[in-house]
Amino acid sequence: MNSKLPNLLLLSSQWLKTARSNPQPAARWGGFVAILVILATIGTARIVSARQLPPPRSAGFVPIKLLHFAPADNARMTTSIAVGNDGNVWIGTESGGVWHCVIQSGLIGRVPIILKNVSRKGLPLPANVYAAAVDHANRIWLGSLRHGICVISGIRARLYSPIAGLGPDSRSVNGPLGDRIFAVAVSPIDGSVWIGTDCGIARYKPKTRQWIYYTTADGLSSDAVSSLAFAPDGTLFVGLASAGLSMGSPRDHYRSWRHVGGPLHIPLTPSGRGLPCPYVNAIAIAAANSPSGKRDHAYRIYVGTDDGLAIGTENGRRWMYIRGSNYILKDEYRYPPPPLKSRLPPPQTLMSPDYVTALGVEPDGTIWIGHRTTGVDILTPAAGASAAAAPGVFTPLKALNGHFISAIAVVPHRGTLVGTYGSGVYWFKTSRSPLSTLIHDATGHYRPRAALPKSASLPKPAPAPTPMQLARMMQAVKAGFGAPPTAAVLGCDWSTQGDWLGHYGVNFARLCCGTTEFSDAQEQFFGGKGRCEIIREKSPYPQFFNQGDWACYLAWPNSTLRSTLYFPDARMRVEGEWNDAGGRYPRLTDGPDMWLDVRIPRGIYSLAFYYHNKDGQRGMNKIRDYVAMVYPGAKNPTYALQHEKPLAVTRIYQFFGGEYCRFLLKGPGDYQVRLKRNYGYWMSVQGMFLDRLSRRHLGTDYDHLDGLPVHHYRPPNILPTAKIKASAAWRLWRLTRQSGAWGLADLKIRRQVRIAAYRYAVAHHFPKLLLRRWRWELHLWNHNDSLRFDSLMRKLNNR
């Protein structure tokens, strides 16, 4: 008898059980196909190849679901998939770390477990992985929630952060400027790794072991990068969270960037020219065929946005967009009502919904399009399609209907992996791809030696700047001195989490809905010199007056999560929120949103909102995606909505771990702020904070926060030595504190030069007290900073 028979029977029984329990017809068919392949091997002592199987009965493009694997409950939230050499696949998850599996043609593992969690024991691997890629040396790059990027090579791993020492074990080294990583891509030209962060792009060149940074100061339209993709000729397409698309070319070494924007108000038509909106989520590149039938450097660019799919031709010089079939409902619920339109186009010419979350391209040009509520659409491009023609035919994949698609990875000639946010990963094959099987080591253990070469060295940390480089930065800061803008985006803070006390709200703090006695209560604090206030206003949408435009909700009176805001009066972490009552109305309604009147005295202030999607892994809470807009002072929200253009716009998404969205405002003045639901689910906010950024004695009067003894938890005072005062790092940091350093030009380089000064201070062994103060001002925390906050809160509780 064949020695493989017991293992094959065990595997077939497991697959049969899975196939029977799966309600989807495609899943049952995929399971039986796999069983037939196993049974065909019995008595032959070999595996039947795909060429020996009968062709599928369905004609044309019919994906067949072969396997569905959702490992542990805490690893069902797939966020990214990276495909490497030798059939290795790396699956990043939210809360579940990274998982490793292998795809090899013609092999079947001897046990039914098909993937293995990469152990974090002894390695600085992140628990929340939001981006993944494999470079040309087979190193795995994993983007984390708030600690930068982790690189795995063989059995070694290292964490690369904006400054050294971040992370739970404080072993990180210098790397990208941003601590929140959204995308990673590898250049087909030189193998360099490009990392999209909340603070621009970091590029690592393996040949020279050099780190290079690209921000708005270098021509990007925004520092908030959402996605990256390379064309065959090396052109880099950069998706921006709220500012459209930027394109750079290797011809000029990415020194200049072209920009394609989108309208803030979505178009009324189902298709048109340009991008449908500036909110980009995913990018994919499809190589085109030349007239001779050979591949060349012509390609199409597919850009997934909140409001449709944009398609670029002529290497990104011409653009068109196509909407989803639900666009008609968005128009119907818009205010003011739009004019009457022609009837809805045929279903084949539109996607299922507007919102595109992920994209994948097969070798023959077929496009997989992921959505957040309706699964996958498959686009078969029309022959010779151009920017003026229909893109092709959209076919919904019924097997994934209702799923939130978070990642798509096409394994050439083997199938397509589709990651879902909530149900793990699905593996599909088509009639054009041979059968393959996912396997892993038969012992159930992760063995990196079988997948990765030992010779690949870990990337070199980013070096500390030299005094000459710091001197050039000082010249750039002085050249950018000027009047501050009326309003601007300051970027996001992912590191502080719920530990706001002393870091935010020194002049005004509102903690939404949170005492143990009253579910509709709030904690509100005033402090410092000058009165600041944030006042809630009526929604400008009259159709929402019947069921209200505001609600409050107390979720957890005593939370143990660090991402929950700490309430001083309650003496515990309380999870509460204000929301716009959006869940009471149709989801595709424009509004109701939350409108706020922000009043500040003379000076430069920071306005921050804290968002925490506490239950974002369940139900409709997954699809929360907000936009924050600052309008100039106006009579009321109705006037601002209809007649004013926003002064600053930013986007909040993937905020399961807690995020501070920040703006710069110039006073004195009133501002209308719109926190937009963006066709999501209950626009909720947990905290609102105002802090003065510039005055002569900025470090004073912090002990007047409604009687709270927060003067014990402020940045420590520094008495530097003469040597430190003479250093370039100290002088550069002092320069960025001056009021003139809040001009538009300096805002673009502010974080970069401050991180450079901090890296210099670490390399030259500046006092720990000074480094602690600078981390405070950078809103970057190490493990000791968190422990210090906990100790102070215990003292506060005993007051």
Q: What are the tens digits of pLDDT across the range 681-715?
A: 899 999 999 988 875 444 444 444 555 555 556 77
Of the listed ranges 112-121, 205-214, 428-437, the least confidently predicted one is 112-121
Q: How far apart are the first and last CA of the chain?
A: 77
Cα 77 vs. chain centroid, distance in angstroms?
14
DSSP three-state, residue 475: helix
Residue 660 has pLDDT above 70, yes or no: yes
Does residue 441 come out as left (phi exceeding 0), alpha (psi in the -120 to 50 range) or beta? beta
Tokens of 643: 């007649």
Of the listed ranges 107-111, 306-310, 335-339, 702-706, the least confidently predicted one is 107-111
Residue 346 has pLDDT above 80, yes or no: no
16-26 burial string, b = 16+ CB within 10 Å, else e?
A: bebbeebebeb
* pLDDT the model gives residue 451: 42
- Sole residue written with tokens 């509004």: 591
Confidence tier at 455 by pLDDT (50, 70, 90): low
Tokens of 723: 């040597």
Residue 9 has pLDDT above 50, yes or no: no
Confidence tier at 671 by pLDDT (50, 70, 90): very high
- Sole residue written with tokens 């510039």: 694
* pLDDT the model gives residue 258: 96
Residue 501 has pLDDT above 90, yes or no: no
Confidence tier at 797 by pLDDT (50, 70, 90): confident
- Sole residue written with tokens 């659409």: 377
Does residue 457 come out as left (phi exceeding 0), alpha (psi in the -120 to 50 range) or beta? beta
Residue 735 has pLDDT above 90, yes or no: yes
What is the residue-averaged pLDDT of the chain? 81
Of the listed ranges 407-421, 551-565, 648-662, 712-726, the least confidently predicted one is 712-726
Asked if residues 197 and 180 have their Cβ atoms less than 8 Å apart, the reply is yes
* pLDDT the model gives residue 720: 86
% of residues, the chain, pLDDT over 90: 49
Asked if residues 433 and 422 have their Cβ atoms less than 8 Å apart, the reply is no
Confidence tier at 29 by pLDDT (50, 70, 90): very low
Q: Is the dihedral of CA 137, 142, 148, 154 positive or negative?
A: negative
* pLDDT the model gives residue 765: 95
The mean per-residue pLDDT over the stretch 273-295 comes to 80
DSSP string, 355-368: ---EEEE-TTS-EE
Question: Using the 8-state DSSP alphabet, how is residue 188 labeled?
Answer: T
Pairwise CA distance, residues 72 & 84, whole Å:
23
Comparing 187 with 114, which gets the higher pLDDT? 187
Comparing 8 with 234, which gets the higher pLDDT? 234
Residue 87 has pLDDT above 60, yes or no: yes
Residues 6+ apart with CB under 8 A from 357: 281, 282, 304, 370, 371, 372, 404, 405, 406
Q: What is this structure's pTM?
A: 0.88
Confidence tier at 379 by pLDDT (50, 70, 90): very high
* pLDDT the model gives residue 716: 75
Tokens of 699: 């470090």
Confidence tier at 544 by pLDDT (50, 70, 90): low
Pairwise CA distance, residues 671 & 665, whole Å:
9
Q: Is the dihedral of CA 299, 301, 302, 308 positive or negative?
A: negative
* pLDDT the model gives residue 289: 56
Residue 635, CA atoms < 13 Å, CB-side half-sphere: 5
Confidence tier at 114 by pLDDT (50, 70, 90): very low
Asked if residues 140 and 90 have their Cβ atoms less than 8 Å apart, the reply is yes
* pLDDT the model gives residue 439: 46
Question: Using the 8-state DSSP alphabet, how is residue 565 labeled?
Answer: P
Asked if residues 195 and 207 have their Cβ atoms less than 8 Å apart, the reply is no
Pairwise CA distance, residues 690 & 505, whole Å:
5
**Cross-strand pairs, 94:** 128
The mean per-residue pLDDT over the stretch 409-433 comes to 84
Strands 129-134 vs 140-144: parallel, antiparallel or unpaired? antiparallel
Q: What are the tens digits of pLDDT across the range 34-72?
A: 333 333 332 322 222 222 222 322 334 567 766 677 666
Residue 367 has pLDDT above 80, yes or no: yes
User: How many CB atoms are closer than 10 A to CB 635?
Assistant: 9
Residues 6+ apart with CB under 8 A from 620: 583, 587, 681
% of residues, the chain, pLDDT over 70: 77
The mean per-residue pLDDT over the stretch 189-211 comes to 96
Helix (H) or strand (E) holding 6: helix 5-21
**Torsion from C-alpha of 197, 206, 165, 183, nearest 10 degrees:** 20
* pLDDT the model gives residue 391: 81
The mean per-residue pLDDT over the stretch 384-396 comes to 68
Length of the chain: 799
* pLDDT the model gives residue 545: 66
* pLDDT the model gives residue 168: 73
User: How many CB atoms are closer than 10 A to CB 393?
Assistant: 16
Residue 287 has pLDDT above 90, yes or no: no
Confidence tier at 106 by pLDDT (50, 70, 90): very low
Q: What are the tens digits of pLDDT across the range 228-279?
A: 999 999 999 999 999 999 999 999 999 999 999 999 888 888 889 999 999 9
Residue 17 has pLDDT above 90, yes or no: no
* pLDDT the model gives residue 610: 98
* pLDDT the model gives residue 745: 93
Residue type, 510: R
Q: What are the tens digits of pLDDT across the range 643-653?
A: 889 999 999 99
The mean per-residue pLDDT over the stretch 529-547 comes to 79
Residue 89 has pLDDT above 80, yes or no: yes
Asked if residues 523 and 568 have their Cβ atoms less than 8 Å apart, the reply is yes
- Helices 768-778 and 744-763 cross at an angle (nearest 10°) of 150
Comparing 53 with 374, which gets the higher pLDDT? 374
* pLDDT the model gives residue 44: 26
* pLDDT the model gives residue 32: 37
Residues 6+ apart with CB under 8 A from 257: 218, 219, 220, 221, 238, 246, 247, 248
Confidence tier at 548 by pLDDT (50, 70, 90): confident
Confidence tier at 124 by pLDDT (50, 70, 90): confident
Residue 336 has pLDDT above 90, yes or no: no
Comparing 789 with 797, which gets the higher pLDDT? 789
Asked if residues 612 and 592 have their Cβ atoms less than 8 Å apart, the reply is no
**Cross-strand pairs, 300:** 286
* pLDDT the model gives residue 61: 55
